[in-house]
Amino acid sequence: MNKSSIIVSQSQKIIRILRLKVTDKPGFLAKVTSVIGEAQVNIGEITIIGQGPDFILREFSLQLIDIDHLNAVIYAIEKIDGISVESIIDPVEQIHEGGKIAMKSRVKVDSLTEMRKIYTPGVAQICKLIERDITLSRKYTGIGNTVAIVTNGSAVLGLGNIGAVAGMPVMEGKSVLFDCLVGISAIPILIDSQDPQVIINTVKAISCTFGAIQLEDIKAPECFEIEQTLINELAMPIMHDDQHATAVVALSALKTIALNTGIDLNTCKIGIIGLGAAGIGITRLLKAALIKDIIGCDLRSDAIIKFEEFGGKSGDLNMVMNQADIVIATTGVPQLIKPNMVRPGQIILALSNPVPEIDPELAMQQGAKFAADGRTINNALAYPGIFHGALRSKATCITDNMKLAAAEAISLHTKTNNLVPSILDYKVHQSVADAVSLAWFQDLHNFNNLKS
């Protein structure tokens, strides 16, 4: 029996597939489902995967509370005569086996003639064209549609500093979304260093391979220095996803909330709890959206200083909860916001994953006008379209206007009674790309007017 050793958060249900050898006689399947039901387990699919002379191999997809719940179910099943547990499959681990991405050819090589076109001697013709005019690399290579996803694994999801290699599954997941949602080739780049200068130098050295750079899961405050230095020194779209894509989706959600509740964002006091990458990114974009009254808190003095540099007013957790009309939390600290801190009529966005600062249902029970968590406000709604629009328009950077345009595009695609659109709504990502591309050309036009 292959049991998973994965540690599971007690607040999240888990899915496991049990492969059972069931005696092929009437009543045995019913015995299994009865025992599973008595254990208060939801059964999903039941699939036959094999058959012997007197048995059937079946896989049962089960939704369980935790590992202890799983063990109790297995114990109960193994007590049934004529039933045996062959294996336990974790479908999350299963889908990651072998990795989620691979480099694939876009052309067929089914003859020597074709090989000679794509490789030697024909490829020399293209090399000479690019040597004479380097901009032709966007036409004749994949550079113009390729993004580097750069990480050192120092701030991965809610897991913290787990290292670059342990963060690879996240980077692969982002690569999959880039490809599926907007057709961009995204390549993970793992940098095994905590030194900002090493990351900066590495990205600069390999930047000619890519059309854009997405910085990912790099902790604050180093992420600010790394991003700004690269923006200053490389004429290409560069964005730290944890800061800016999160901010875009958060602003979009606020626009939708304002529309549905009748509040005026420009007159609201907005509180930011946690002034790391996401908190600072949200603050910067709210300021760009001309929202003036922003208060925030963090335990780190350097975070407070940066927050105040962007025009925020600092305080402590109680001050934020007592004064803010809208509270956005990005701390990574589960259950930081206690129920008695929630004021009637407040809007609470507790964005930390996998466990929010307060459960949205609990916040609503305490009188919040609206509450949501990070499962709803997912930055994957923003970054594919932002990079697609930036690459398509050959932008040399990603501006505040491009981010504001992306937030507006997401909000406009949000259907009634939803906070944000579905991530799998392909029209949303295309609309974000269109809006970002248009915003870049507007910025370029305004810049040229200023020069003249």
Q: What is the predicted pLDDT for the residue at 416?
A: 77
Within 13 Å of residue 425, how many CA atoms lie on the same side as its CB? Answer: 16
- Using the predicted structure, report yes or no on whether residue 10 has a pLDDT greater than 50: no
Q: Is residue 177 part of a domain?
A: yes
Whichever domain contains 317, its CATH number is 3.40.50.720
Percent residues over pLDDT 90 in the chain: 90
- Which of 216, 299, 340, 362 shows the shortest CA–CA distance to 350? 362
Q: Same domain for 202 and 275?
A: no
107 shares a domain with 191: no
250 in a domain, yes or no? no
Q: Is 53 left (phi over 0), alpha (psi -120 to 50) or beta?
A: alpha
- Specify if 244 maps to a domain: no
Is the model's pLDDT at 112 over the cut of 50?
yes
The reply to whether 199 and 55 lie within a common domain is no
Q: What angle do CA 388, 392, 393 make, to 5 degrees?
A: 120
Confidence of residue 245 (pLDDT cuts 50, 70, 90): very high
Edge to edge, what strands does the sheet with 146-151 contain?
185-190, 146-151, 212-215, 238-240
pLDDT of residue 148: 98
Based on the fold, state whether residues 282 and 431 are members of the same structural domain.
yes
User: How is residue 282 written in tokens?
Assistant: 């949200």
Domain range for 348 is 255-452
3-state secondary structure 216-270: CCCCCCHHHHHHHHHHHHCCCCEEEHHHHHHHHHHHHHHHHHHHHHCCCHHHCCE
Q: Which residues are catalytic?
A: 119, 174
Look at residue 145 in the predicted model and tell me its pLDDT: 97
Mean pLDDT of 363-390: 94
What was the pLDDT predicted at 215? 98
d(C-alpha 313, C-alpha 321), whole Å? 14
Q: Averaged over 48-70, what is the pLDDT?
A: 94
Whether residue 59 lies inside any domain: the answer is yes
Q: What is the pLDDT of residue 353?
A: 82
Looking at the structure, tell me whether residues 122 and 263 fall in a common domain: no
For 192-207, how does the pLDDT look when each residue is reduced to its tens digit (9 = 90+)? 999 999 999 999 999 9
Cis, bond preceding 121 (omega within 30 deg of 0): yes
Same-domain check for residues 407 and 442: yes
pLDDT, residue 174, reads 97
Q: Which tens digits make up the pLDDT trace of 399-444?
A: 999 999 999 999 999 987 889 999 999 999 999 999 999 999 999 9
Q: What is the per-residue pLDDT across 261-279, written as a single tens digit (0 to 9) for each?
A: 889 999 999 999 999 999 9
Tell me the per-residue pLDDT of 84-102, one tens digit each, with 9 for 90 and over: 999 999 999 999 999 999 9
Residues 285 and 308 in one domain: yes
Does the pLDDT of residue 383 top 50, yes or no? yes
Could you report the per-residue pLDDT of 116-152, keeping only the tens digit for each? 999 999 999 999 999 999 999 999 999 999 999 999 9
Antiparallel, parallel or unpaired: β 212-215 and 146-151: parallel
Confidence at 355, pLDDT banded by 50, 70, 90 = confident
**187 and 52 co-located in one domain:** no
Instruction: Kindly indicate the confidence band of residue 452, based on its pLDDT and cuts at 50, 70 and 90.
Output: low
Query: Does the structure show a pLDDT above 80 at 391?
Result: yes
Average pLDDT rounded to a whole number, residues 78-87: 94
pLDDT of residue 3: 34
Above 80 in pLDDT, residue 2? no
Is residue 326's pLDDT more than 70?
Answer: yes
Residues 365 and 450 in one domain: yes
Please say which residue of 141, 172, 206 terminates a domain: 141
pTM: 0.88
pLDDT band at 9 (very low <50, low <70, confident <90, very high): very low
Which pLDDT does position 451 carry in this prediction? Answer: 67
Q: Are residues 431 and 444 in the same domain?
A: yes
110 phi and psi angles, rounded to 5 deg? -115, 15
Domains: count for the chain: 4
Domain-located, residue 36: yes
Residues 283 and 164 reside in one and the same domain:
no
Is the pLDDT reported for residue 5 higher than 50?
Answer: no
- Indicate whether 218 and 308 sit together in one domain: no
Tell whether 338 is covered by a domain: yes
